[in-house]
Amino acid sequence: MAVFSKEEYMERVRRTKEKMNEWGIDLLFISQPANMNYLSGYDGWSFYVHQCLLVSLEQEEPVWIGRGMDANAARLNSILSHDNILEYADDYVQSTVKHPMHYMADVIKKRGWDKGRIGVEMDQFYFTHRAYVELEKSLPDATFKDANTLVNWVRVIKSDAEIGFMKIAGEIAHNVMTAAQEVIAPGVRECDAASAIAAVQYRGTAQHSGDYPAIVPLMMAGEGTKTPHLTWTEKRYENEEAVLLELCGVYKHYHVPIARTMYLGQEPPALMRDTGKTVLEGLSAALDMIKPGVTAEEIEATWRRTIEKTGLVKESRIGYSIGVNYPPDWGEQTISVRPGDKTVVQKNMALHLIPGIWLDDVGFEVDASFYVTDTGIQHFFDYPLEICVKR
Amino acid sequence: MAVFSKEEYMERVRRTKEKMNEWGIDLLFISQPANMNYLSGYDGWSFYVHQCLLVSLEQEEPVWIGRGMDANAARLNSILSHDNILEYADDYVQSTVKHPMHYMADVIKKRGWDKGRIGVEMDQFYFTHRAYVELEKSLPDATFKDANTLVNWVRVIKSDAEIGFMKIAGEIAHNVMTAAQEVIAPGVRECDAASAIAAVQYRGTAQHSGDYPAIVPLMMAGEGTKTPHLTWTEKRYENEEAVLLELCGVYKHYHVPIARTMYLGQEPPALMRDTGKTVLEGLSAALDMIKPGVTAEEIEATWRRTIEKTGLVKESRIGYSIGVNYPPDWGEQTISVRPGDKTVVQKNMALHLIPGIWLDDVGFEVDASFYVTDTGIQHFFDYPLEICVKR
pLDDT of residue B141: 98
Per-residue pLDDT for A314 more than 90? no
Q: Which one of B36, B128, B255, B357 would you mutate to disrupt binding with A, by most A Cβ within 10 Å of its Cβ?
A: B128
Answer whether B218 touches A (CB < 8 Å). yes
Residues B246-274 pLDDT 10s: 999 999 999 999 999 999 999 999 999 99
| Dist. CA B249–CA B201, nearest whole Å | 6
Domain with CATH 3.40.350.10 in chain B: 6-155
Is residue A66 within 8 angstroms of chain B, CB to CB? no
pLDDT surpasses 90 at A96: no
Q: What's the pLDDT at B315?
A: 84
Cα(A294)–Cα(A289) distance, integer angstroms: 8
Q: Do B72 and A358 touch (CB under 8 A)?
A: yes
Asked whether the predicted pLDDT for residue B352 surpasses 90, the reply is yes
- Averaged over A131-151, what is the pLDDT? 98
The Cα–Cα gap between A210 and B137 comes to 44
Q: Which residue has the higher pLDDT, A316 or A132?
A: A132
Its CATH architecture, for the domain A160-390, is Alpha-Beta Complex (3.90)
Q: What pLDDT, in 10s, does the model give residues B362-380?
A: 999 999 999 999 999 999 9
Residues 122-181 of A with CB under 8 A from B: 122-133, 146, 148
Average pLDDT over residues A243-247: 98
pLDDT (0 to 100) of residue B314: 87
| Amino acid in position A270 | A
* Beta strands B143-146 and B117-120, pairing class: parallel
How confident is the model over B163-217, as pLDDT tens digits? 999 999 999 999 999 999 999 999 999 999 999 999 999 999 999 999 999 999 9
Q: Is the pLDDT of residue A23 over 90?
A: yes
- A6-155 maps to which CATH number? 3.40.350.10
pLDDT band at A315 (very low <50, low <70, confident <90, very high): confident
The angle formed by the CA atoms of residues A241, B254 and B54, to the nearest 5 degrees, is 85
Residue B205 sits at the chain A interface (C-beta within 8 Å): no
CA distances from A364 to A177, A211, A256, B15, B48 (A): 16, 27, 19, 41, 22
Cα distances (Å, whole numbers) of residue B274 to B93, B362, B363, B387: 54, 10, 11, 11
A269 neighbors A219 (Cβ within 8 angstroms): no
Q: Name the amino acid, one letter, at A240.
A: E
Instruction: For chain B, give the percent of residues with pLDDT over 70.
Output: 100
Residues pairing with B379 in the sheet: B370
User: Residue B276 above 90 pLDDT?
Assistant: yes
pLDDT of residue B207: 97
pLDDT at B96 over 90: no
Burial of A309 (0-12, 13-18, 19+ CB in 10 A): exposed
Other C-beta atoms lying within 10 Å of the C-beta of residue A65 = 24
> CB neighbours (10 Å) of residue A304?
20
The distance of B270 to chain A (nearest Cα, Å) reads 23
Nearest residue of chain B to residue A234 (CA atoms): B209
Contact A123 B129 (CB under 8 A): yes
Where do the DSSP E strands lie in B265-376?
319-322, 331-336, 350-353, 357-358, 363-364, 368-372
> Does B237 contact chain A (CB < 8 Å)?
no
Domain with CATH 3.90.230.10 in chain A: 160-390
Q: Is residue A152 classed as helix, strand or coil in its secondary structure?
A: helix
Please judge whether B227 and A76 are an interchain contact, meaning their C-beta atoms are less than 8 angstroms apart: yes
The 8-class DSSP code of residue A112 comes to T
Q: Are B381 and B350 in contact (CB under 8 A)?
A: no
Comparing CA positions, the residue from A12, A387, A378 lying closest to residue A225 is A387
Residue A250 · residue A213 · CB < 8 Å: yes
Distances A57 to A41, A71, A291, B164, B217 between C-alpha atoms, Å: 19, 23, 35, 55, 37
Which segments within B252-347 are labelled E, that is strand?
254-264, 319-322, 331-336
What's the CA gap between A213 and A330, in Å, rounded?
A: 8
Closest CA to A254 of A214, A312, A299: A214
Q: How many Å apart are CA B216 and CA B204, to the nearest integer?
A: 15
Q: At what angle do helices A100-110 and A129-138 cross, to 10 degrees?
A: 40
Task: Work out the burial of residue B391: count CB atoms within 10 Å of its CB; fewer than 13 is exposed, 13-18 middle, 19 or more buried.
Answer: exposed
Do strands B85-88 and B117-120 pair parallel, antiparallel, or not at all (unpaired)?
A: unpaired
Q: Which SS3 state, helix, strand or coil, does residue B310 take?
A: coil
Report the pLDDT averaged over residues A52-58. Answer: 98
Express each pLDDT in A170-182 by its tens digit. Answer: 999 999 999 999 9
Tell me the residue length of chain A: 391
CB–CB contact A72 B48 (8 Å): no
Taking residues A252-257, report their average pLDDT: 98
Of B102, B126, B113, B121, nearest in space to B51 by CA: B126
Query: A360 in contact with B at a CB cutoff of 8 Å?
Result: yes
Q: How far apart are CA B345 and CA B293, in angstroms?
A: 5
Amino acid at A157: I
CB B172 within 8 A of CB B204: yes
First-to-final CA distance of chain B: 48
User: CA B391 to CA A339: how far, in whole Å?
Assistant: 60
pLDDT of A213: 98
The type of residue at B56 is S
Nearest to B327 among A204, A317, A328 (CB): A328
- Residue A313 touches partner B, C-beta closer than 8 Å: no
- Segment A83-96 shows an average pLDDT of 94
Minimal-distance CA residue of chain B relative to A94: B333
What's the average model confidence in pLDDT over B103-128?
Answer: 97
Closest among A180, A171, A172 to A232, alpha carbons compared: A180
pLDDT mean across residues, chain A: 97
> What's the ipTM?
0.97
Nearest residue to A149 via CA among A360, A317, A332: A332
Q: Does A271 touch chain B (CB under 8 A)?
A: no
Average pLDDT over chain B reads: 97
Give the DSSP per-residue string, A318-355. Answer: -EEEE-B--TT--EEEEEE-STT--PBP-TTBEEEE--
Q: What does the pLDDT read at residue B36?
A: 98
Does residue A317 surpass a pLDDT of 90?
yes
Cβ neighbors of B143 (< 8 A, separation 6 or more) are: B116, B117, B118
d(CA A110, CA A65): 14
Check whether A313 has a pLDDT greater than 90.
no
A/B interface, count of CB pairs below 8 Å: 232
Window B:2-21, CB contacts with A under 8 Å: none
Q: Could you give the 3-state DSSP secondary structure of residue B199?
A: helix
- Contacts (Cβ under 8 Å, ≥6 apart) of A319: A299, A300, A335, A336, A337, A351, A352, A353, A354, A355
The CB-side HSE value for A90 (13 A sphere, CA atoms) comes to: 13
What single-letter amino acid sits at A46? Answer: S
- Is B246 at the interface with chain A, CB within 8 A? no
Compute the average pLDDT of residues B331-338: 97
A146/B123 Cβ within 8 A: no
Dihedral (Cα; B78, B81, B83, B84), 10-degree rounding: -40
Contact by Cβ (8 Å): A322, A313? no
What's the one-letter identity of residue A337? V
Rounded CA-CA distance A77/A96 in Å is 31
Q: What is the pLDDT of residues B61-89, one digit of tens each?
A: 999 999 999 999 999 999 999 999 999 99
Contact A191 B203 (CB under 8 A): yes
Helix (H, G, I), strand (E, B) or coil at B41: coil
**Interface membership of A210 toward B (CB under 8 Å):** yes
